[in-house]
Amino acid sequence: MSVIDYIAENETRFLEELKDYLRIPSISTDKEHAGEVARCANWLVDHLKGIGVEHVELHETGGHPIVYAEFMEAGPDKPTYLIYGHYDVQPPDPLELWTSPPFEPEVRDGKIFARGATDDKGQLFAHLKAVEAHLKINGTLPVNVKMLIEGEEEVGSVHLDPWVEANREKLACDAVVISDSSMYAKGIPSIMYSLRGLSYFEIEVTGPSHDLHSGLYGGAVPNPINELGRIIASFHDPDGRIQIDGFYDDVRDLEADERQAFADLPFDVEAFKAEAGVNDVQGEAGFTTLERKWARPTLDFNGIIGGFTGEGAKTVLPSLAKAKFSCRLVPDQQPHVIEELVEAHIRKVASPNVKVELHFHHGGKPVITERDNPAVQAAMRALKKSWDTDPVFIRGGGSIPVVATFAEVLESPTVLLGLGLNDDRLHSPDEKFDLENFYQGIRTAAYLWDELA
């Protein structure tokens, strides 16, 4: 029997096992559920041993435990891959909006509905079942496989980074495979090969040392909101291009074939506008919407406050105005460089009559895994074999911090093999996972080990 036949023959059992996994309310944000989170980690340990992965470790972290496993019998001349996933889930509230209870998985219309179905229990489980199929049919895996499954992804992976750093050698690998994101669309298998990074700022502008009466002082002293407005406006030109000296210096231009590939993707701008609730799209001139959100850097204000914000009118000339803003960064921009450029820009444009303070919040580097990376190419072949259609390359506009951690600490590229769909309602009621994607995901993961070998 082939690995693929084994998968087909066991689909029903795989689904029942996934239901067992989904029944555990491993809600990491809720202290009262800590016992359930621990039970889920132990369930995984037992399940991994049950499918034939003998080397399984449970690591306490100070928060929720990390499950680590490895199967190294392919030998030192074979490549090694790390599968990352998480077994914790978001809280299910508001409960009354669920069609069926969040921890009583129910299949309807070819989808399984439960909290964690797509984020990330179902997607990770596909990899476990592919490992099982290889071990049952071949008694081994064609490559060495390590697994890192954390229980704190939904609470910011607070203990993961130090653990990865402390276990750098244990985790050494040729590439990381993560299934914790979405395909471009139903029936369009995809590899996400780049994510944007982030620089996050807070600015405080102080004019007078205390609030003043706008009648007695207005027109004769600097107003911090007026001045902050000037600073906000200074960041973009009318073409939506960011006007910070040097800001684009490290931006890697989109290659012609990337732009063509994005242009070839089905994209319904009206649907995008409706989803965002905007009159029209708006952004940097000369780029499409997909290019703007995937491959161009941004500067967006996230919040602002100053002066009188209550009901009615108060003729105050305020002392202070402050705002938060952030840049989404693209390869090869570096957060620390962008911080310096933003600071220099503000020093240049701000009135000398106001006091301007700039604080830096966390930053994150953008990541890109070259499309010709062997692991990426292997994943593309595996996708094509299982889906019988050409997979596409996509990028992501947000950040997945763990990807940057793996790039920095392990110096390993990551293959983002999303099995979810954009309408899977992760973090919301009626979260679901498409069963076709589940079974195709198992097949893709099974093919992947052969292709990687």
Catalytic residue among 36, 153, 154, 291: 153
Interface with a copy of itself by CB under 8 A: which range of 199-207, 255-263, 374-382, 411-419? Answer: 199-207
Q: Are 228 and 323 in contact (CB under 8 A)?
A: yes
Residue from 76, 219, 256, 266 that binds a copy of itself (CB under 8 A)? 219
Catalytic-residue membership of 430: no
Mark residues 396-425: x for contact with a copy of itself by CB under 8 A, - for none: xxxx--------------------------
Tell me how far apart the alpha carbons of residues 26 and 333 are, in angstroms, rounded to a whole number. Answer: 37
Closest contact distance (angstroms) between CB of 373 and a copy of itself is: 23
Residue from 96, 109, 169, 280 that binds a copy of itself (CB under 8 A)? 280
Using CB under 8 A as the binding rule, the residues of this chain from 222 to 241 that contact a copy of itself are 222-223, 225-226, 228-236
Q: Which residues contact 247 (CB under 8 A, 6 or more apart)?
A: 297, 338, 341
The secondary structure element, H or E, covering residue 204 is: strand 197-206
Tell me how far apart the alpha carbons of residues 30 and 19 are, in angstroms, rounded to a whole number. Answer: 22
Interface with a copy of itself by CB under 8 A: which range of 73-81, 122-130, 168-176, 302-310? Answer: 302-310
Q: Which residues contact 269 (CB under 8 A, 6 or more apart)?
A: 281, 289
Q: Which residues contact 352 (CB under 8 A, 6 or more apart)?
A: none
Tell me how far apart the alpha carbons of residues 189 and 186 are, in angstroms, rounded to a whole number. Answer: 8
Using CB under 8 A as the binding rule, the residues of this chain from 330 to 369 that contact a copy of itself are 351-355, 361-362
Catalytic-residue membership of 339: no
Catalytic residue among 17, 36, 70, 88: 88
Closest contact distance (angstroms) between CB of 54 and a copy of itself is: 40
Burial class of residue 110 in the structure, from the number of CB atoms within 10 Å of its CB (0-12 exposed, 13-18 middle, 19+ buried): exposed
Q: Does 309 bind a copy of itself (CB under 8 A)?
A: yes
Tell me how far apart the alpha carbons of residues 120 and 239 are, in angstroms, rounded to a whole number. Answer: 40
Mark residues 153-192: x for contact with a copy of itself by CB under 8 A, - for none: ----------------------------------------
- Report, as residue numbers or ranges, the catalytic residues: 88, 153
